[in-house]
Amino acid sequence: MRHGAMPALVIHGGAGVIRKDMHPERERAIRAALREALDQGQAALRAGRPALDAVTAAIAVLEDSPHFNAGRGAVFTHDGRNELDAAIMDGATLRAGSVAGVEHVRNPILLARAVMEHSPHVMLVGAGAEAFARTQDIVLVEPSWFRTEERWQQLQETLRHDAMGEHAAADHVRHFGTVGALALDMEGRLAAGTSTGGMTGKRWGRIGDAPVIGAGTWADARCAVSGTGWGEFYLRTAAAARIALRVELLGEPVAQAAEAVINGKIRALGGSGGAIVLDADGGIAMPFNTDGMFRGWVGTDGVPNVAIWNADEEARRAG
């Protein structure tokens, strides 16, 4: 581990943003939420706290916002419920914790961390995960906490298209939206976390990539990864671990490794999405192949940044 490292933080609020659907008021609210998440995570790092603390602090902010598909803004299942997934991983030790299919946990990322730190297991699901939550002073809420009218209407749209056999027409609300955070602390330790409501209209207890260690979430001593996109393709490619392995075994920079997986392997199979990647030197990559990806970062220069669109579009809007 590198002691006295300059800390860094990277977050995302999901890929799959549709430019035509982004009204100025909503865009301002999303950028403000991303900044607040950066502020909370950066405060932990500046105080000398471990990367895990920064990751959980940043993700908890995004889970409490109605603007992201995680926590309070989670999408609905086919049956009109919210089933939440989350994972966290400590790069220094390879410890990990995850939860899936929980319906009453206000901040699933906190429960995932409790699984990692206070249970002998890595993944807990459903009622068992919530029973464990009750032993850990994790805040539980009524399902109504997660309901937003926007997500409810997205479900109705998806159900209408499904009934008509027009699955492709609903893809823009079906597959996207996740939140994640990566941190590098002053001791040179990396951590990663991801939280999601999953896929709009999902059925039969479907679980995506976010809570699966190596698919949507990964951290080791060299790099940390959190993915966002069409989860089935991230599962099939072990996307997060594949990026990390390219860094470790091939010696690729994180930007090259991430590009090869997100815009290479996954796209070749018909999937789409994005990812954030952070290496042990503070190098950052944020590839995506959708209209936009909600993201923010504080590099080793200590300057916070938030973005939604590609670099050219961000410059045009700023001008």
Q: pTM score, two decimals?
A: 0.94
* Type of residue found at 35: R
Distance CA 286, CA 213 (A): 19
Residues tagged active-site:
178
Round the CA-based radius of gyration of the chain to a whole number and report it: 18
Nearest to 110 by CA among 144, 84, 94, 87: 87
Distance CA 235, CA 127 (A): 24
Question: What confidence score (pLDDT) does residue 128 get?
Answer: 98
Domains of the chain: 8-318 (3.60.20.30)
Helices (H) and strands (E) in the chain, counts: 11, 12
Distance CA 97, CA 107 (A): 14
How is residue 217 written in tokens? 């979430």
Q: Report yes or no: 87 and 96 within 8 Å, Cβ to Cβ.
A: yes
SS3 257: helix
The full 3-state SS of 280-318, as one line of letters, equals CCCCEECCECCCEEEEEEECCCCCEEEECCCHHHHHHHH
How is residue 232 written in tokens? 């089935």
Distance CA 3, CA 187 (A): 4
Q: What percent helix, strand, coil does the chain show, rounded to 5? A: 40, 25, 35
Q: How many CB atoms lie within 10 A of CB 203?
A: 9
Distance CA 169, CA 167 (A): 5
Q: Report yes or no: 166 and 183 within 8 Å, Cβ to Cβ.
A: no
Phi and psi based region of residue 272 (left: phi greater than 0; alpha: psi -120 to 50; beta: remaining): beta
Q: Quick one: 22 exposed, middle or buried, by C-beta within 10 A (0-12, 13-18, 19+)?
A: middle
pLDDT in tens, the chain (319 residues): 455 568 999 999 999 877 777 788 989 999 999 999 999 999 999 999 999 999 999 999 999 999 999 999 999 999 999 999 999 999 999 999 999 999 999 999 999 999 999 999 999 999 999 999 999 999 999 999 999 999 999 999 989 988 887 555 445 445 567 999 999 999 999 999 999 999 999 999 999 999 999 999 999 999 999 999 999 999 999 999 999 999 999 999 999 999 999 999 999 999 999 999 999 999 999 999 998 999 999 998 899 999 999 875 665 565 5
